[in-house]
Structure 1
């Protein structure tokens, strides 16, 4: 390494939009900061540049209050003095979906381009660990680097970083993803504040730089030393040019420059003369003591994660693809509304927000944002569904009579689907503007005779169904060309077994009179074996005296026992980290007798309700409050659980559907206990040293045993849609909706423990911040699915888990002629080990963007057959920019012969 030393001082502020203060209080401080920055840049040419934290939302937040300052902002951005992008927000990597990460990058690029240049910096200053596919996401975004603070070195209280060994020899490293993509990784080894508040006083500068230069050189692989001049919500250092001049005088052998990331990277790459350490895959601080990983933010305020799962799903799997399909019919794709909905949702994605580790006011506002984004998405879906259903030819049902009521069921997943569908249909409507008195209108609706009716498919086959009269219902239409149209209707709720609804498509059905000669009778049977056992083609399920579930996979003959037992333990930690009291053993429902009731006995579905009455401690003892007030760090606390007990009633509903390969598990309870964690246990009894978990564009493989450095008794991890344990013969996958934390217990049974609730009473970082609402008192729920699998590829079980995330869409239509057939799918695809991730339109080209990812580490091939006409096809990156043309098209068939291991593959179909 050269003896030449250059101190690259980069000015920045790490801007948490909300955290220990509510959003608007931080917002006010942001406006002051940017005002000061603009004045400084105008007045002092020696203050060269400022990095605006890698997130363009800061520009939105500032200009919301100071729109008259846009011209000044644009000037300094275009002159390269304010560096912006590439993200819209700095998100948490593990708690946001694959497509949310892509939209974040896409929207950040789009917004940055409106102002000037995009800073191609993979910026993750305080992200709580990093997902394994980050290098591929960066490379596909035209970024060859990643700057990060956590994941390979211990980081603890108040962002202090510990000395000692870690995965890399230097602060510079090669980071490789599972697909082989590589980026230059830059670890903030001395944190992203190691050049903060540089002294302009000579005497102070000597001491400051002696310490700082030594600290940086300890980890740097070259003489190019990085100093970050800023920290969380850090005001601008106005005298930095003077402080740099002083540093040059005090240390003439070191070149001090007011730098930026691009100049630093160029200098670093020119100076590298040694091989860097290579780190592969996820960065989760695996080689640390395990106390500072912040993984338990995955279970802080679980309700936020559940709302986020719903919000992401409704945009990714429903609003976007439906809008794309409607656009293929000539309807305008609502780019503006989708971007607005995504931005509203992503305002909840910064780590201190989605992680649930802020003050209560922050998370109250998050609930409103989740609802706002969902409402926009639901409005989009309603419009697009109507566009499509208005074009479906339902004349095949005309033979059943004029009072036939057709409806359409949409399957918005990438695989053919069967299951129980619920839809509400109006038999008759009377609008308020009709020539009827108000009372006569209601009377006609209420007195409508209800003959026996059945559900049929487009071939006239009668389907197993349950029909419930909902009586008089008020509704209204909101036409595009006239005033709102209120009405009264006679409505029915239809529940039936849909079968083989095509992937990326729909199937039309109808409600008809039972006496129609055209209907072909369906068979009737029951899935119920006895009052504690139910069975379908694939699974046998029994409920034991203690409420646990025994499940047999018929294909493999493997039986899993002790499923769905609950575990409760004390938690004297905080929103960031779980901490069980010393000497405590978790409580379980293993020895509690549960009541079991048959709730549903239908030919296509059976359900049982399991109720536990369980006495658990009311909270922690009084010492915990004292330890919190005195800022006793959670690892050193001596508090225990209270001896005062309270009753917790847990209701578990297990549902088995005809043709289902998984068992649905719904849990509900009213939590009135504090300072505890509730989990559901799924013993696998599978002999494996590793397990798999769904992550961003990856089914990640993780060790069941932690590294030797790990001291934390807990070894929890993040998941998105599922976690799975398998060997060469069998496997068990547990899918979830918004339950982001799990642990594979080291109990000789490889039990999967999924966290349902974690109750704590403080934020728990650098000060005393009580958060009583983080106790999550009140009604709570959880949805899971148990999916066993045998010798077949586990990817089939993973597909069921992904499908579990997405609800059916069912919409009433009319007897009508149309251009679309009663059964249709917009495209078919085939590939081994791939999962469909996204269907959407590209704004600037009008291309249809289709994206998959390879769940495996093997090669694959992809065949796609659109059912609509198109021009040509291009490969793309995640920014959905056209790359090389795909020449493998043969008529309507698109072929990609080689899909690499763990590859994210996007194609653009030009319509």
Structure 2
């Protein structure tokens, strides 16, 4: 190891796109900063480098206002003096999905590719905790390091470093290891990412500055290379830094002061790190803090944002991309890389930590709603186009089997698991275009005067399904042909509700609405119910199918019995309400307050739906809760009293809280779906749903980023905060090794396993706050989340391993909507008819290689009635499916899985489409080793990506 110390000054600004000011306020300052940076680089060759905070989006934001500066900016990026990437945005890792984290990295690399340079720095300066699989993801992307600010050191509120003995690493350098064993060199901002800001150019001031700051850095550094971050949040650049470096070098001739960059700094550190570096494993979410704050409660700030984000992510990665891939492979619609990239970027503009965490001023989060909508609208349109293109290309002769008057429709299961489920769709049974009649009213009258036949639902094998069919009357609609003006029409609609059973993963199946007289009495007599031989029965306030018995108690809570082994869980979905005198970052219950619950209230319970394949019970609980915190809270916020020192309580004034819960049980299902609605009129409080497991366990499992993370029920000894809330993605479950209880959710990212002797899972449904918190006083009245709220979650008991039992597959499939479109002569074909198939080929099964799962495939002129794109050994395995898409670089079909287990697993995947070769790939979708077998052994906790080279993209 060299004796002489080197001070690496890395100029940067930590650019939160939006936070304590609206986006455009920050945007104005960004433009000013970038103008100044370019001028400085032009004028001072000794100002060598600037790190653009790891985000390629900053370039977009700047050029949106200053397109005239593109040549100057891009010149310095190519020259390496401005360094950016590898991320598109600096996201919150735990509140964005596994695939969203990968898209962020992938799009960052794609944006930087034209420049030929990219900062290969695993940059996580301000994430509110770090995902455990980051080292594996970074290694697959060719990045061997991670630079981060949180998760392995005692960090107090407002980023203050706390003196303590409990450092997981004695150094600012360490080895960070993922569960699969992947390792990167971890570098901690031990003195935060502003420890080198505003270096004095005056000798006397510089001496005092460096005497203090050098000692602080040397306390943690394991090598002579000391990191000093020259900048901070929205920090203007220090234009006299070269002079400050010259003065510092004269004051300390035994130290090299250099204007550095991360590439040079990390290379120098890596050569001299000692052999005794600590190995830090998995998630970086240390509770060795001031005992109160890890910023985890941002997971429950503005829950509505989390719900919209979950919906947007699910739509893109689990619906639109798979459907677009299916349509591409069928040769009926080109894969829209450009539009998908736009939709992802628009969504990811909501993923920076201060945005998705809900910890900004109200104006920021209002703008986020528009971005969520814009991204979803693009995804919805692309998904619909892909599904309709496939439905339009299904062989007409095959559709004709149902006879005249039938209305065929296609159901797509874009989940990675075979599933059954209740489908609701609206179908057109007749339509008349406006030119066909005198006026829309007359057309509607003609349509509604025609008697409808009695319909049944039938599949291609002749099986008849129990269904509810409702006449909706005449409605307006329109076609948008590619070759002429819009075509309005009036159409007779019916709503069809039935249960599709055992639809393969990543597949479609065609059904038809058929006049009953065409089916015949014999077929109707053997009508299938919703799940083979299973039905749902209702007895009072009890729902029962072949697998579960579900009873709603007088207080509205649920008792669930798993019939196979007799395991019973009682008191599920009791509601808990407490005060919150914290802020958007941190939940703080008033001192000495006793939580309110609905345990002893009386609920009104009634049946709202009952048929052979689904039943729904509704519970209504009427509650009175405190209206807000008291006047003390207002004063304490104004005076910036730290949240740990606040003495406020809740007011004695109350407001009503009426909670309406609908419990749904479907035939053949082991999942109880829960939909809870309420009108929030209270402020400064938290509402949770409680699920006592009664299971003996000292840990639990939670869906995190590419893993089911194992977490202790009891926090670290330094943790004095009474609340031990944590992040989740799709589910959390407690198991004693033989049986378990899993709670799935849709956009409810905060939970806690209570230390109450019951290992109760508490899921946060709402947290109402009134201030941003952190370094100033910023009122956020809209964070109180007043008004109508609806949340959705599900209860899934299981036995044995959560993955092999199917419980995790159910949890992952639960939020994914079915896609249903009409086929046949009444379908909206005009929009797709003019679209050119990929490569100009006809959409036939022979040319595209689409494999039919049905006994009879389509003819040479169309697609088969059923098809599966990828099949895999989804039963009795610890693997989870993650993605089906096309690579923007190669058009390879990308399929991804990951192993949830610490044991090896076998992947047996079969592509239902013609392909020439298959490669092992990585998170950047590059072709790696050639795969010669369809069977593959997947190592413990491994993320595995396959790239299939098809005939279209060879």
The TM tier, using the shorter chain, reads: over 0.9
Q: Deviation of residue 644 (structure 1)?
A: 0.4
Q: Give 1:762 shift.
A: 0.1
Which of these residues, 899, 905, 909, is aligned with residue 938 of structure 2? 899
Which residue is 1:833 aligned to?
A: 878
Contact 1:686 1:749 in 2 (8 A): yes
Greater shift, 381-390 or 760-769, is seen at 381-390
1:25 corresponding residue in structure 2: 25
State yes or no: 1:595 paired with 2:604: yes
Contact 1:12–1:51, Cα closer than 8 Å, also in 2? yes
Structure-to-structure mapping, 1:201-280, within 5 angstroms: 201-280=202-281
Q: Deviations over 1:373-423 (max 9, x none)?
A: 000001101110111111223645535431110001110111111111001
Does residue 750 of structure 1 match 2:759?
Answer: yes
Counterpart contact for 1:826–1:866, Cα < 8 Å:
yes
Question: Where does the alignment leave 5 or more consecutive residues of structure 2 unmatched?
Answer: 826-857
2:152 corresponds to: 152
1:614 and 2:623 correspond: yes
Structure 1 equivalent of residue 310 of structure 2: 309
1:701 aligns with 2:710: yes
Distance in 2 (alpha carbons) for counterparts of 1:362 and 1:44: 36
Q: Distance in 2 between matches of 1:397 and 1:851?
A: 34
Cα deviation for residue 748 of structure 1 reads: 0.2
Render the CA deviation track for 1:722-750: whole Å, top value 9, x for unaligned: 00001121000000000000000000000
Asked if 2 retains the 8 angstrom alpha-carbon contact of 1:687 and 1:727, the reply is yes
Q: Is the 8 A contact 2:463 2:528 kept in 1?
A: no
- Offset at residue 435 of structure 1 (A): 4.7
- Quote the residue 2:404 is aligned against: 402
Query: Shift of residue 194 of structure 1?
Result: 0.1
Cross-structure match for 2:833: none
Whether contact under 8 Å (1:194, 1:212) holds in the other structure is yes
Contact 2:927 2:947 in 1 (8 A): yes
Counterpart for residue 480 of structure 1: 482
Residue 884 of structure 1 deviates from its aligned partner by 1.0
Stretch moving more, 809-818 or 107-116: 809-818
Residue 62 (structure 1) aligned with residue 62 (structure 2): yes
Q: Deviations over 1:185-208 (max 9, x none)?
A: 000000000000000000000000
Deviation at 1:792, TM superposition (A): 5.1
Answer yes or no: is the 8 Å Cα contact 2:879–2:897 preserved in 1.
yes
State whether residues 222 and 273 of structure 2, in contact with CA within 8 Å, keep that contact through their aligned partners in structure 1: yes
- 1:404 and 1:148, CA in 2 relative to 1: closer, same or farther beyond 3 A? same
1:526·1:601 contact (CA, 8 Å) conserved in 2? no
Cα deviation 1:685-705 (Å, max 9, x = unaligned): 010101000011010000000
Which residue of 2 is the match for residue 465 of structure 1? 467
* Alpha-carbon distance between aligned partners in 2 of 1:794 and 1:729, rounded to the nearest angstrom: 13
In structure 1, which of residues 568, 572, 580 is the aligned counterpart of residue 581 of structure 2?
Answer: 572
| SS of aligned partner of 2:103 | helix
The one-character-per-residue Cα deviations of 1:267-291 (angstroms, maximum 9, x if unpaired) are 1122223310111010002333441
Deviation at 1:451, TM superposition (A): 2.2
Question: 3-state SS of the aligned residue for 1:516?
Answer: helix
The answer for the alignment partner of 1:891 in structure 2 is none
Pairing partner for 2:817 from 807, 810, 829: 807
Match of 2:847 in 1: none
Task: Output one character per residue of 1:343-397: Cα deviation in whole Å (capped at 9) or x when no partner.
Answer: 0000000000000000000000000000000000011011101111112236455
- Aligned pairs (5 A) from 1:33-432: 33-165=33-165, 166-330=167-331, 331-393=333-395, 395-396=397-398, 398-432=400-434
Q: Distance in 2 between matches of 1:290 and 1:421?
A: 48
Q: For residue 639 of structure 2, what is the aligned residue in structure 1?
A: 630
Distance in 2 (CA, whole Å) between partners of 1:414 and 1:820 is 22
Shift in Å at residue 101 of structure 1?
0.6
- Aligned equivalent of 2:503: 501
| Structure 1 range deviating more: 203-212 or 329-338 | 329-338
2:559 paired with 1:550: yes
Unaligned runs of 5+ in 1: 889-893
Q: What number of residue pairs does the alignment pair up? A: 905
**Aligned residues of 1:650 and 1:667 also touching (Cα < 8 A):** yes
Q: Select 2:866's aligned residue among 805, 818, 823.
A: 823
The answer to whether the 8 Å contact 2:538/2:610 transfers is no
Does the residue aligned with 1:512 lie in a helix, a strand or coil? strand
Q: Is the 8 A contact 1:157 1:766 kept in 2?
A: no
Separation (CA, whole Å) in 1 of partners of 2:343 and 2:705: 21
* More displaced stretch, 523-532 vs 164-173: 523-532
CA distance in 2, matches of 1:170, 1:255: 21
Kept in 2, the 8 Å contact 1:400–1:513? The answer is: no
> Residues 665 and 783 of structure 1 are in contact (CA less than 8 Å); yes or no, is this contact kept in structure 2?
yes
Q: CA deviation at 1:526?
A: 5.8
Cα distance in 2 between the residues matched to 1:535 and 1:53? 55
Q: Residues 162 and 289 of structure 2 are in contact (CA less than 8 Å); yes or no, is this contact kept in structure 1?
A: no
Deviation string, structure 1 residues 61-90 (Cα, Å, up to 9, x no partner): 000011111111111111110001000000
Once the 2 structures are TM-superposed, how far is the Cα of residue 440 of structure 1 from its aligned partner? 2.7
Report if the CA contact (8 A) 2:128-2:296 is conserved: yes
Distance 2:39 2:746 in 1: 48
Are 1:908 and 2:939 matched, yes or no? no
What is the CA distance between 1:97 and its match in structure 2?
Answer: 0.4
What TM-score results when the alignment is normalised by the length of structure 1?
A: 0.98
Give the conservation status (yes or no) of the 8 Å contact 1:734–1:786: yes
1:234-275 CA deviation, whole Å, 9 max, x = no partner?
000000000000001111111100011111111112222331
Question: 1:808, CA displacement in angstroms?
Answer: 0.8
> Does the CA-based 8 Å contact 1:179-1:902 persist in structure 2?
yes
Tell me, in whole angstroms, the C-alpha distance in 2 between the residues paired with 1:517 and 1:314.
36
Cα-to-partner distance string for 1:165-215 (whole Å, 9 max, x where unaligned)? 311110000000000000000000000000000000000000000000000
Structure 2 distance, partners of 1:523, 1:328, is 33
Q: CA deviation at 1:436?
A: 4.0
Does residue 1:688 correspond to 2:697, yes or no?
yes
Aligned to 2:891: 846
| Cα pair distance change 1:157/1:704, threshold 3 Å | closer
Q: Which residue does 2:842 correspond to in 1?
A: none
Per-residue deviation, 1:16: 0.2
CA contact 1:460–1:520 (8 Å) conserved in 2: no
Distance between the aligned counterparts of 1:440 and 1:705, measured in 2?
70
Among 914, 917, 925, which residue is 1:872 paired with?
917
Q: Distance in 1 between matches of 2:350 and 2:468?
A: 40
Q: Is the 8 A contact 2:440 2:490 kept in 1?
A: no
1:56·1:112 contact (CA, 8 Å) conserved in 2?
A: yes
Report the secondary structure of 1:321's partner residue: helix
Q: Distance in 2 between matches of 1:228 and 1:403?
A: 72
Distance in 2 between residues matched to 1:853 and 1:523, nearest whole Å: 36
- What SS class does the counterpart of residue 576 from structure 2 fall into? strand
Q: 1-side partners of 2:71 and 2:116: how far apart? A: 12
Instruction: Report the 3-state secondary structure (helix = DSSP H, G, I; strand = E; otherwise coil) of the residue aligned with 2:436.
Output: coil
Report the Cα offset of residue 432 of structure 1. 1.1
Q: Structure 2 CA distance, aligned partners of 1:344 and 1:562?
A: 42
Distance 2:890 2:398 in 1: 38
- Quick one: distance in 1 between partners of 2:158 and 2:240? 26
- Once the 2 structures are TM-superposed, how far is the Cα of residue 154 of structure 1 from its aligned partner? 2.7
Q: How far, CA to CA, are the matches of 2:178 and 2:394 in structure 1?
A: 45
Tell me the TM-score normalized by structure 2. Answer: 0.94
Partner of 2:10: 10
Judging changes above 3 Å, is the alpha-carbon distance between structure 1 residues 290 and 537 closer, same or farther for their aligned structure 2 residues?
Answer: farther
Matched-pair contact (CA < 8 Å) for 2:548–2:670: yes
SS where residue 328 of structure 1 aligns? helix
- Of 589, 592, 601, which aligns to 1:583? 592
